[in-house]
Structure 1
Amino acid sequence: MINGVSIDATSELQAKVRSLLEQPDTSFNARIATASVEFEGVSPLRWLANYPREARLYWSGRDYGMEVAAIGEADCQYSPSAADLKGLRSGLGSMLSGCEHGVRYYGGIRFDFCQPYEGQWDSFGAWRFVLPRFEVRKDSKGTMLRCNVVVPDDRAQMNLILEQIEALRVPVQAFQQLPKPIRHRFCPDTQKWESIVNWVLRAVQISSLDKVVLARETTVDFPAPPEPITILQQLQGNSPSCFHFLFEPIPGRAFLGASPERLFRREGRSVESEAVAGTRPRGHSDLEDERMIDELFGSAKEQREHEFVRISLQEEIARLAAYVTMDVQPSIMRLASEIHLVSRLRAILRQEYTSLDVLEALHPSPAVGGYPSDLALEVIREREPFDRGWYAGPVGWIGVNEAEFAAGIRSGLVSGSVMRLYSGAGIVRGSTPLDEWDEIGHKISGLAKVLDLYASSVQADFQYA
């Protein structure tokens, strides 16, 4: 069955899950077991659209061709608030200990634990990582439907899980159409933005502060709730070469986006990361692109902004690594609407360090917070008039000696009939409020086009240079 779950597939999966849960086990410690069946001819995102009443998540990597769509929860590591990652370390460490390769928890972490929490982020918490009950994984080797169970805990609900597998046999649903936006508002507005940027520029002149990444929240109202899966499906089409993600802990409340920026990828002891900073809009021709690239390499302001990220990345990874190598000079990252400077790093992690050690070392990077980090965070807490929540925080997945995280930027939060869009820009010596306002507009243009913000007459001032 194309894009649907066949009777044969569900019957095979039920038999495998029954076998896992009926196996005798003398241990009282929880362990994760996985049953999987082939699932060819399936679009993971279209499959995910079939389950609007479930907790859902989606992840597709930028470079490695892995695509995952998942529903339900076999286990959830969640904290409504936290001061650090100790609880996450303990929870994931216990559950992943002794697991087979390929078991993964998917989720994200708040940008800043110290920032006051706003209600729209309640379902996401300080962190939330989910071992899905059901996931469709597609890679170069094929597509598999997986069911994760926790033994012995799930033995008591084996019949329910088997019924849930049976319920996967549903007709394929088409992607829903999106409603047209009716109004929007910026936070901060242009006047307040100018005031905040000028304050930061004065602070850069008279203190040891070098860079602050300031963000904008654009709230868009709709006459009816937009379907997050449709938004993501269209975003994939206009934002290639990005990490695409969606986390929907409760139906109708979803954080999603298309991030160009890898925080890090780990396989065994090998770690990859990158410094992405310095931006120009794409031109209308190859010739204009080349002119923008020349501007990037020739701009002292853009080079300075990139160097802060580059230096910090190398220093933080060096503390954890036995070996580090980084590009001698930045190269160009071309996206659909912008061009960035990028410097790539590779390292060999020392034996005693974990994926969460790497994550803590790298977040928040100067690419999303500023430099020095502590000073920049103080400014963001005092001056930004909204809660970033998961925006610019790490999003991705973690398994046994493997992980991949992106910065949760170029993103938005769907809450019923409201969607909040987020993007930011690095303020350094040489920045101007108008140029940075235009830059954050370019960075969120992928989502703005999907939501039809340019075409709507109500959005006449939603224009970007």
Structure 2
Amino acid sequence: MITDTQTHTDLNIGLTDAIARAKAEDTTILFSYTFQFEARDLLPLLSHPADKNACRIYWEQPREGFALAGLGKTLEINDDHGESIDSLNEKISNYFQQAIHVSNHPFVGPRFLGGHSFNPQSDSDKTWGEFPRACYILPECLATLNPDGCWLTISKMVTKNDNPNSLLREFSRNCTHYEKRLPVTLPPLRHVPIDKFKDIPNRKEYDEIIYSVLEKIRPEKLEKVVISRSHQVKVGEEFSVVSAVQVLRNMYPKCTNFFFSFPKAGIFFGATPERLIRKNGQEITTEALAGTIDRGRNMEEDRLLAETLFDSHKEREEHRFVIEQIKGRLETIIPEIEIPYEPIVLKLKNVQHLKTPISGVLENGEKILDLVKLLHPTPAVAGTPLKRAMEVIGKLEPHDRGWYSGPVGWIDPKGNGDFFVALRSALVKNEEAHIFVGGGIVSESLPEQEWHETELKLQPIISALSGGQK
């Protein structure tokens, strides 16, 4: 909130500079103002009924005490014209290079949030319809929560014809407006009945696809192909994505919980355990996440299942493929990569995964989207060898994955960011939810076991869609 003389002066100077720069360069300039406020939870910011049809974005990592909540949009960059990730990267960089930001905190400010489809070259089917193949939004209001506190960033594009006094009054009104919109508590969870619609592919078709993949693995020197499926259910008007994410973060605090609500296009939400890439300065972290088994009904059974997963030749081979591919790609830009000798077992509410953290230090000036381009898609969501696996997926999968298993995340003005693979996710539109899950197929795979694994992966989203009901 604009309350003191110094802030008023800083804002006035910043806005005057932005107008002058807009005149000098004959363009519009991104201007942002960040101020601290009191809040322990950002999800309520997006729960107001009046904002149901507004652009809303949420991102939370509960274990890290970090969250972002975006409302409205000041900038939107997408690939409606078939632009490459390099073009999107350049546009984002250009906006940030010209931007002016007034803040009392050096590490909090405007960010782009968005993502890409799994395969931008594929054609959208009717399910994804108006949902963009890639899209990045810089929200008009962005709330940031981290262990140091909570901040609101208000952003606006400034033109050469703007008046600094008028803009100052507008920023003051917006700051007050958004700060008052943050209630103390969330509304009660909405328990929504859901009705199964259909599976694409159905069980019989899925088994046939898996057998087709197995027939190709040995003669074509394929090591792994990831096959996904879509589970469609009916949801009513009562569905609330805020309630859905509330369920997910309570059940899966080790996951990154997110949603992107785009007017008319739909709502994409999920809880993903898999980080694609994180960049903080020159330091990068990623991980291999592949190999899955159930949770046990008690501690002893859970321990035995974890041992079975850890000792499984099939699961360890599937995991090794992912590590080797990530390592091979990172070696082109990083001289020394740190990879533990053995994986750990990541225990989520209903499944266990093999996980290996991977890290390194960049030597050049790569930005976060450069790294996303380098690593996506990983063998964990596509297969290996990559080119042939993608060809098999394109031929055998009867649906468009859209943003499922694509990269989603955020980008800051310094080219840092954090991207995850959009797993355990669903698209909701027209009172229908399309839940997407998948699994890696290797030479030892059995269709029945693969179907069971995907059924396990469906449960988080089904529970979220129903407001926590099983």
TM-score (norm 2): 0.88
Equivalent residue for 2:462? 448
2:421 to 407, 412, 427: 407
Q: Name 1:5's counterpart in structure 2.
A: none
- Counterpart in the other structure of 1:266: 279
Count of aligned pairs between the two proteins: 448
TM-superposed deviation, 1:352: 3.8
* Residues 351-399 of structure 1: CA deviation (Å, up to 9, x unaligned): 1422222111110000011111111111111111111100000000112
Q: Secondary structure at the match of 1:424?
A: strand
Question: How much does 1:334 deviate?
Answer: 1.2
Task: Give the Cα–Cα distance (whole angstroms) in 2 for the partners of residues 110 and 345 of structure 1.
Answer: 24
Aligned: 1:117 with 2:124: yes
CA separation in 1, counterparts of 2:233 and 2:381?
23
- Please list, as runs of the form range in 1=range in 2, the aligned pairs for 1:325-344 lying within 5 A after superposition: 325-344=338-357
Task: Specify the SS of the correspondent of 1:69.
Answer: strand
The letter for the 2-side match of 1:21 is L
Q: Secondary structure at the match of 1:234?
A: helix
Shift of the 219–405 alpha-carbon distance from structure 1 to 2, 3 Å rule, reads: same
Partner Cα separation in structure 2 for residue 123 and residue 192 of structure 1: 28
Instruction: Identify the range of structure 1 (417-426 vs 124-133) with the bigger mean alpha-carbon deviation.
Output: 124-133
Q: Do structure 1's residue 82 and structure 2's residue 89 form an aligned pair? A: no
* Contact 2:124–2:402 (8 Å) recurs in 1: yes
1:140-169 deviation digits (Å, cap 9, x = unpaired): 111111102233379479476665545433
Please tell me the residue identity of whatever aligns with 1:413: L
Moved more, 217-226 or 67-76: 217-226
In the other structure, the counterpart of 2:450 is 436
Report the 3-state secondary structure (helix = DSSP H, G, I; strand = E; otherwise coil) of the residue aligned with 2:218. helix
Q: Which amino acid aligns with 2:159?
A: P
Give the letter for the 1:112 counterpart: N
CA displacement at 1:83 relative to structure 2: 6.3
Mean Cα displacement is larger for which, 76-85 or 49-58?
A: 76-85
The equivalent of 1:44 in structure 2 is 42
The answer for the alignment partner of 1:364 in structure 2 is: 377
Question: Is 1:276 aligned with 2:283?
Answer: no
In structure 1, the partner of 2:436 is: 422
- Which 10-residue stretch deviates more, 340-349 or 222-231? 222-231
- Which whole-Å deviations, capped at 9, do the CAs of 1:61-120 have from their partners, x for residues lacking one? 365321111101111111125363132022112112265654311000110012221244
**Compared CA separation, residues 83 and 129, structure 1 to 2 (3 A):** closer
Distance in 2 separating the partners of 1:432 and 1:192: 14
Does residue 56 of structure 2 align to residue 56 of structure 1? yes
The equivalent residue for 2:200 is 187
Residues 74 and 133 of structure 1 are in contact (CA less than 8 Å); yes or no, is this contact kept in structure 2? yes
Q: Report what 1:65 is aligned to.
A: 65
Aligned to 2:322: 309
| 1:110 partner amino acid | S
Question: Once the two structures are superposed, what CA deviation does each residue of 1:425-454 show, in whole Å capped at 9, x if it has no partner?
Answer: 000011111111111111121112233499
Deviation at 1:207, TM superposition (A): 0.9
| More displaced 10-residue stretch of structure 1: 377-386 or 24-33 | 24-33
**Superposition CA RMSD, Å:** 2.6
Q: Quick one: distance in 2 between partners of 1:332 and 1:113?
A: 32
Partner in structure 2 of residue 35 of structure 1: 33
Match in the other structure for 1:461: none
**C-alpha distance in 2 between matches for 1:142 and 1:154:** 36
Equivalent residue letter for 1:275: A
- Within the candidate set 389, 411, 415, 2:402 is matched to 389
Return the letter of the residue paired with 1:433.
Answer: P
Measure how far apart 1:304 and its partner are: 0.9
Pick aligned residue for 2:222 from 209, 212, 215: 209
Where does residue 144 of structure 2 map in the other structure? 137
Q: TM-score, normalised by structure 1?
A: 0.89
Structure 1 residue 125, shift from structure 2 partner: 1.5
Give the CA deviation at 1:308: 0.5
Distance 1:88 1:449, change over 3 A: same
1:225 touches 1:416 (CA, 8 Å); kept in 2? no
Sequence identity (%) = 25
The one-letter code sitting in structure 2 at the alignment partner of 1:281 is: D
